[in-house]
Amino acid sequence: MGLLKTPIALPFNITRMGYVVLTSSNFEKTRFFYESGLGLEVTFQDQNMLCFRAIEETYHHSLIFEKVDEGETGKCRRVGYRMQTDHDVKEAFNFFKSRGDKVDFVERPFQGLTIKVIDCLGVSVEFCATMEQSKNRMQKFHTHAGGKLAFLDHIQIACPDVQEVYQWYNDLGFRLSEYTANDGTEEMWGVWLKRKNNTQDIVFSNGAGPRLHHIAYHTPEVANVIHAADVMSSMGLAGSMDRAPGRHGIGNAFFIYFRDPDGHRVEIFTSHYNFIDIDQEPKRWDLTDTTRSQLWGFPAPKKWFYEASEFDGIEVKKPLKDAPPVTLEDFLESW
């Protein structure tokens, strides 16, 4: 199937990745990791729900945790995108309904009109245009802590059939900015799909799934990425680092990855680039080119490739493409 033509005259406008809903078995530990460690702001907490947002975010939340029993494995429950207006949300409802998707209007605290649809992976995907607003901390510089996270930028999901999910999201207007394909072919291994100005809102990569590989917060400076590591270390959270700092070939991101107390992976990164103009072609990477994941040559450790958060109630299936990545462990054996 290869490269797809993205429709540009849809009756609705998805603006960006909006929020992610994960489970936590211990709010105290979750709060210590995200608030005291990474520097996110808590905007709501009760017995069942814990909400966070980042420095530039004026809206109520970009990250929600729902409480589960102690000892339960961390799961992803839903992901949410933002739309331009409530009219777009209603038009999207009609669009999904007319083609037979399972779609409903749902009530969500702190959000305006919201719909939930089940995507081709079985994942619950929500869309809303509005959310409660309040003054952000952007110019309260004395409160910027940890990695000084500015906003939720994108998420990555591992799934068994990348071409199928690329088609599903392409039909909603998600445009391809970069991709990995089997060498010399257009057989997709990973697709970087965007709605907002930069290279990605959602990434789908080949792997056992569907599973949430990571959520990613943007920070404006490389120094902040390094400072995050220093702060996490000084707070006794150094062991939560999942992948050491480096630069992705794809997207040009300078990154670091941590795992939260429930195993959810969080990327803190800077330096994505604008991808806006309609005549800009997607950038292609060969699957065997390891610089796509690490421009400096040191691949990611095995756990980064193979561990991820399952979606609540969704069976994990093996990938269609058997393409084991070169891991840090493989690399060091011959180094």
Q: Taking CB under 5 A as the rule, does residue 128 contact Fe ion? A: no
Strand partners, 133: 59
Asked if residue 256 lies in contact with residue 264, where contact means CB atoms within 8 angstroms, the answer is: no
Q: Determine the interface stretch with Fe ion among 107-115, 265-273, 282-290, 316-324 (rule: CB under 5 A).
A: 265-273
User: How far is 244 from 23, CA to CA, in rounded Å?
Assistant: 25
Token output for 77 = 């429950």
Beta strands in 84-196 (DSSP E): 103-106, 114-118, 124-128, 151-159, 175-181, 188-194
Residue, CB closest to Fe ion: 216
By CB under 5 A, how many residues form the interface with Fe ion? 2
Q: Which is nearer to Fe ion, 50 or 157 (CB)?
A: 157
User: How far is 144 from 154, CA to CA, in rounded Å?
Assistant: 21
Kindly provide the b/e burial profile for residues 189-205, where b requires at least 16 CB atoms within 10 angstroms of the residue's own CB: bbbbbbbbebbbbbbbb
Q: Determine the interface stretch with Fe ion among 23-31, 64-72, 266-274, 320-328 (rule: CB under 5 A).
A: 266-274
Q: Determine the interface stretch with Fe ion among 21-29, 71-79, 213-221, 236-244 (rule: CB under 5 A).
A: 213-221
Q: Which of 193, 216, 237, 300 binds Fe ion (CB under 5 A)?
A: 216
Residues written for the chain: 335
Q: Determine the interface stretch with Fe ion among 7-15, 42-50, 106-114, 259-267 (rule: CB under 5 A).
A: 259-267
What does each C-alpha distance from 261 to 130, 143, 264 come to in angstroms? 30, 24, 7
Q: Taking CB under 5 A as the rule, does residue 172 contact Fe ion? A: no
Asked if residue 222 lies in contact with residue 254, where contact means CB atoms within 8 angstroms, the answer is: yes
User: How far is 309 from 123, CA to CA, in rounded Å?
Assistant: 13
Q: Taking CB under 5 A as the rule, does residue 267 contact Fe ion? A: yes
Q: Minimum Å distance from CB 30 to Fe ion? A: 21
Q: Taking CB under 5 A as the rule, does residue 225 contact Fe ion? A: no
Q: Minimum Å distance from CB 156 to Fe ion? A: 5
Look at residues 30, 55, 29, 27 and name the one whose alpha carbon lies nearest to residue 41.
55
Q: Minimum Å distance from CB 202 to Fe ion? A: 10
Q: Which is nearer to Fe ion, 216 or 225 (CB)?
A: 216
Q: Determine the interface stretch with Fe ion among 119-127, 144-152, 169-177, 262-270 (rule: CB under 5 A).
A: 262-270
Site for Fe ion in 7-46 (CB under 5 A): none
User: How far is 284 from 11, CA to CA, in rounded Å?
Assistant: 30
Q: Determine the interface stretch with Fe ion among 106-114, 121-129, 260-268, 302-310 (rule: CB under 5 A).
A: 260-268
User: How far is 38 from 33, CA to CA, in rounded Å?
Assistant: 6
Q: Minimum Å distance from CB 267 to Fe ion? A: 5
Token output for 159 = 């799934």
Q: Minimum Å distance from CB 251 to Fe ion? A: 7
Q: Minimum Å distance from CB 216 to Fe ion? A: 4
Q: Would you tell me which residues interact with Fe ion (CB under 5 A)?
A: 216, 267
